[in-house]
Structure 1
Amino acid sequence: MKTIGIIGYGYWGAVLLRNFSQHKEFEVKYICDRNLSKLEQAKNAAPTNCILLNAPKDIFEDTEVDLVVIATQAAHHFNLAMMALEADKHVFIEKPLVLSSQEAKMIFQLANERDRKVWIDHTFLFASAYQKLKNCLHWGMIGKPLRFHSTRTAFGLFQQDANILWHLMYHDIYILLDLFHIPDKLNSVVGSASIIPNMIDSVLASFSFSNGLHATIHCDMLFAEKKREIVITGDKGILVWDELCQNKLMFYPYCAQYHSAIKKVTYQIAEVEKIQIEQSEALINEINELSKFLNNKKCKVSVNENIALDIINLLESVEARLIEGRICQAII
């Protein structure tokens, strides 16, 4: 059993506490948050013997703590991770890992020097619908992939320390790279900062791959509906993963073919199929794999240093392109 200390008791910190507390391989010894009202809320959810703190010093100094779980605002991830690693703790960091590739390199360098492990919380990779989606692609259900389109939108919940690239688009980037690796070209990016000056709150980015695949990612925090949908089109059909829908994974046996001899496009459309998926919680699946990771066992899914840096490098490229093009600002 691994002993853990959780730093940060916001929305996701509370979810992490619930799931770690219910797992037989982990014991939550500490919960830390500088907001005393949040610690009061944690009392009702924390295990009986759990210690509540408003500063993380005791977590770092406790030799019984194996793993520090960081669920604070993104701007604090780097310093807290470095302090945990310097104290010879393994670290679990919610997304985004950090806000720059330079900080990411420093974290992994220290982890290697201290022989400690870094786990990044890419929760959607552990969703049963996503795992089935990957299998469907591997089996060739849609043929050759032609299009990847992700829509991740909501109304509000602006972050003061991280723009929409690091807050929402981060998910789409790690999913895209997990499925298809690094795109060969960033075609275009448009975005805006409509509410908080210089804080990007909408983005539409286009990527292309050498094999002909084209990817589009749309994220927006001023949208009427919350959407979490990824559509992958191939030359033999379309897969739709909607995390908010009861039928999370659907297959559309739709395809189009151009006949150059007669200069005509023909279409094939069959009945839409619901893909059966296992009922399981993504975070529980992730914690199961985390336990294997900490015990040096083979994991079905994990994020190594190279993958983590690829994700951050791509986000930095998108952000740089937006800055070069001068982000659209609201006219006041």
Structure 2
Amino acid sequence: MIKIAVIGAGAWGINHVKTFYKLGALGAVVEPDEALQRKLKNEYPNIPTYSNMDHVLTDKSIKGVVIATPVNTHFVLAKKALEAGKDVLVEKPFTLSSSEGEKLVKVAEKRNLILMVGHLLLYQPAIQFIKNYIKRGKLGEVKSIHQQRTKLGKVRSFENVLWSFAVHDIAVILYLFEKHPQVITSKSQSILQEDIADDVYLHLGFSNNLSVNMHISWYYPEDIRKMIIVGREGMLVYNEHDQSVILHRKTVSDDLENIDKGKKVLFIGDSNPLKLECNHFLSCISNRSNPLSDGQNGVEVIQLLEKTHQEIRQQNNRFRLLGN
């Protein structure tokens, strides 16, 4: 059985620990926090727990490494693991810059290693269903997408809400439509910390007049994770919480009359996407196959985040000039 080491057993990393353990693939855990170490040793007494990566990098029984640490450490840790000959899964956001991501891709390619990014939503069966549904032309030409990812969430001091939350939705958009936006505009508000956006409205304009509008916030009263896809022949509503995909048979005729033929539940998901993602990583290691969310996919998402971040900074500078 392939053995995986999980680097970082914090709020999200512990889920990787639990999942790979249940899959019988957990080989080691690296966690510098002493309190977490004690907890890990109590819960997983047969699994080696270390305070740094040194043992993992030299352990030939460990074939793959999961990096689930703060994003500002991703590049250094992933590079070390790749240079030690380990296949690597890096949690999102992949890196803090596309140049760092590109360097990791080159290292992996040079050494023929697997480099995967934890774009979890791509492994949701509901997203797979939606992609196939659109591809078969069931909605007609897709005209607009409205995405909302809001809640009172974990506020970061070194990344804004866009980097923390919007990675999921950007990864999904690039996957569903396999194209890049030609227009990027945004409006943001830094409520809690200067120059750290807490609330962002993002617009992406694609070819064929496809418009994507996102609202991303970690300072919001309701936990909403929803995507609405408006096509010429109907509308899909995807609710991430219950993994439901509902078709609204609504459209407007050529003579501008409303048509409403009711709604229908097309899909209800009941799978564990993290388990599917972890199994995919193991399969890629075993078969030496390219992951669905590979390093290049990670770079493309980061490039779009960079462009959006730059647009936000320019907008903030314009506001400061107006204030003066």
> In which range does the TM-score fall when normalised by the shorter chain?
over 0.9
Backbone CA RMSD of aligned residues? 1.9
* Pair 1:315 & 2:284 matched: no
* Pair 1:253 & 2:243 matched: no
Matched AA of 2:274: L
**TM alignment of 1:169-208, pairs within 5 A:** 169-208=166-205
Structure 2: segments with no counterpart, 5+ residues:
none
Deviations 1:289-332 (Å, cap 9, x if unpaired)? 22221122667x61234322221111100000011111779x9x
Deviations 1:169-205 (Å, cap 9, x if unpaired)? 1111100000112333224211122112221211111
Counterpart of 1:141 in 2: which secondary structure? coil
d(CA) in 2 for partners of 1:159, 1:94? 16
Counterpart of 2:108 in 1: which secondary structure? helix
The answer to which structure has the higher helix fraction is 2
> What is the aligned partner in structure 2 of residue 14 from structure 1?
14
d(CA) in 2 for partners of 1:44, 1:161? 33
> What is the aligned partner in structure 2 of residue 282 from structure 1?
273
Identical positions, percent: 26
**TM alignment of 1:119-134, pairs within 5 A:** 119-134=116-131
Given the alignment, which residue of 103, 125, 135 partners 2:132?
A: 135
- Give yes or no for contact 1:29–1:49 (8 Å, CA) kept in 2: no
d(CA) in 2 for partners of 1:307, 1:272? 34
> What is the aligned partner in structure 1 of residue 286 from structure 2?
295
**TM alignment of 1:1-332, pairs within 5 A:** 1-24=1-24, 26=25, 28-46=26-44, 48-245=45-242, 248-259=244-255, 265-296=256-287, 302-326=292-316
Counterpart of 1:166 in 2: which secondary structure? helix
d(CA) in 1 for partners of 2:154, 2:183? 28
- Give yes or no for contact 2:102–2:296 (8 Å, CA) kept in 1: no
1:98 CA drift (Å):
0.5
> What is the aligned partner in structure 2 of residue 262 from structure 1?
none
d(CA) in 1 for partners of 2:50, 2:9? 11
1:29 CA drift (Å):
2.1
- Give yes or no for contact 1:132–1:277 (8 Å, CA) kept in 2: no
- Kindly indicate whether structure 1 or structure 2 has the higher relative contact order, using CA contacts under 8 Å at least 6 residues apart: 2
d(CA) in 2 for partners of 1:278, 1:53? 37
TM-score (normalizing by structure 1): 0.91
- Give yes or no for contact 1:30–1:52 (8 Å, CA) kept in 2: yes
Counterpart of 1:162 in 2: which secondary structure? coil
Deviations 1:96-125 (Å, cap 9, x if unpaired)? 110101100111111122221111111111
- How many positions carry a matched residue from both structures? 320
Distance 1:216 1:11, change over 3 A: same
TM-score (normalizing by structure 2): 0.93
Counterpart of 1:169 in 2: which secondary structure? helix
